[in-house]
Amino acid sequence: MSEVKTKASSAKKAAAVLNRLTTAQKNEALLLMADALIAEQDTILIANEEDLARGREQGTSSSLLDRLKLTPARLNDIAEAVRQIVELPDPVGDLLETYERPNGLFIEKRRVPLGVIGIIYEARPNVTVDAATLCLKSGNAVVLRGGSAAISSNRSIIAVLREALSRSAIPADALQLIEDSNRSSVDEMLKLNGLLDVIIPRGGASLIQNVVQNATVPVIETGAGICHTYVDESGQYAMAEAIAVNAKAQRPSVCNSMETLLVHESFARLHLNALANKFREINVELKGCGIARDIVPWINSATDENYATEYNDYILNIKVVKDLDEALEHIQKFGTRHSECIVTENEANAERFLQEVDAAAVYRNASTRFTDGFEFGFGAEIGISTQKLHARGPMGLPALTSTKYRVVGSGQIRS
């Protein structure tokens, strides 16, 4: 049997045990894992140095090397994040519905673990710990397939975590790492119906698209964000500027940052020069439509291709629209259903925007950067779903569960 199939089978057996554990037992295991990451940090850092050395040899960019790099401080943060997951409520067993039918059947709908979750991600060792502990806390076994550039770090981390699990009620086999760095191991995971209950991709657009296009196992798509902020005619300038600057520039590399600013023409005539100057001050490159360039002659021109690009960088498209309808149309055409914002003082326009925009999160007068499990108060985040099935928007622990109907009778039969 292949590595993928062998490990997924072991995970499935372990999932049946994990399904029966109490919250206290799972939390105890998580605390052992957090402690082990600190106690064994020297081993992990040596392994991480192997990955970094190989990366430097291969000319990996400094930003990728930085994502790969572990330090005692970062390991400490990672362990601390595990301890925070311990503090979160366990969704498993939650009673969602309960009722009695006229024939006397008692029906309960309760949360249960999904079973075995496959996570496919990039060369980020912090995701290894984060994904593993979120899955285990919610009662799921997990099969991890991280980017090959982090393989030494991942092997070391998983060895440390599995050793910690071996001293706990959670079977070590509930945590599996696929070490085969060939693309074929990913392909095999994507088709592993019956052993994997769901696959969650975490990473860039091409990684996610490969999973979405080729998986037969159900997928939760965590996705790209081409997010817009629309400043309506009635928007207050100071608020609009603060929100737009925050949405674009507070952390441009993430999916909830803004890529295109839509501005009502009346607002633009009054304020676009000031706004453009503000963006120039903070080194954001601007691309604009014809009207935007009439008002602010020094900005470059924006094409449909620009509107369809997730820059994840200090670049911003500006489009002047004649009204809310044109803004809604643009978002419908170019948005990725992630996070969209209107800045307005007009109640009717706000309500139309919140109602009509098709996205995981719609905002009035607040930065799209808030689309995040921590900012939403979930205490954790396995990703941000941009699909409509199962979970939409930031996903906390409940998104890692399914449900089960428990029906108790006294001999009822159907007539």
Residues at the contact surface with its own copies, assessed by CB under 8 A: 16, 19-20, 99, 101, 105, 107, 112, 114-115, 193, 197-198, 212-213, 216, 218-221, 236, 238-239, 242-243, 245-247, 250, 332, 350, 354-356, 358-367, 369-371, 375-377, 387-390, 392-393, 402-415
Nearer to its own copies, 162 or 248 (CB): 248
DSSP assignment, residue 154?
H
Contact between 330 and 228 under an 8 Å Cβ cutoff? The reply is yes
Read off the tokens for 376: 């939403």
Q: What's the closest the beta carbon of residue 324 comes to its own copies, in angstroms?
A: 14
Helix pair 151-166, 41-57: axis angle to 10 deg: 160
Nearer to its own copies, 2 or 250 (CB): 250
Q: What's the closest the beta carbon of residue 251 comes to its own copies, in angstroms?
A: 8
Question: CA-CA distances (angstroms) from residue 311 to 112, 229, 253, 258, 260?
Answer: 39, 15, 8, 9, 10
Closest CA to 262 of 238, 297, 298, 226: 226
Nearer to its own copies, 72 or 409 (CB): 409
Q: What's the closest the beta carbon of residue 319 comes to its own copies, in angstroms?
A: 20
Read off the tokens for 174: 């509930």
Nearer to its own copies, 95 or 105 (CB): 105
> What's the residue count for the chain?
415
Contact between 189 and 145 under an 8 Å Cβ cutoff? The reply is yes
Q: What's the closest the beta carbon of residue 109 comes to its own copies, in angstroms?
A: 8
Q: What's the closest the beta carbon of residue 238 comes to its own copies, in angstroms?
A: 8
Contact between 121 and 189 under an 8 Å Cβ cutoff? The reply is no
Q: What's the closest the beta carbon of residue 327 comes to its own copies, in angstroms?
A: 14
Contact between 288 and 318 under an 8 Å Cβ cutoff? The reply is yes
Helix pair 265-281, 237-249: axis angle to 10 deg: 50
Nearer to its own copies, 58 or 415 (CB): 415
Nearer to its own copies, 132 or 245 (CB): 245
Q: What's the closest the beta carbon of residue 45 comes to its own copies, in angstroms?
A: 31
Contact between 107 and 97 under an 8 Å Cβ cutoff? The reply is yes
Read off the tokens for 123: 């060369």
Nearer to its own copies, 294 or 325 (CB): 325
| Beta strand pairing call for 175-177 and 315-321 | unpaired
Question: Could you tell me where the beta strands, DSSP code E, fall in 125-226?
Answer: 141-145, 175-177, 198-202
Nearer to its own copies, 65 or 242 (CB): 242
Q: What's the closest the beta carbon of residue 307 comes to its own copies, in angstroms?
A: 16
**What distance in Å separates the CA atoms of residue 67 and residue 122, rounded to the nearest whole number?**
10
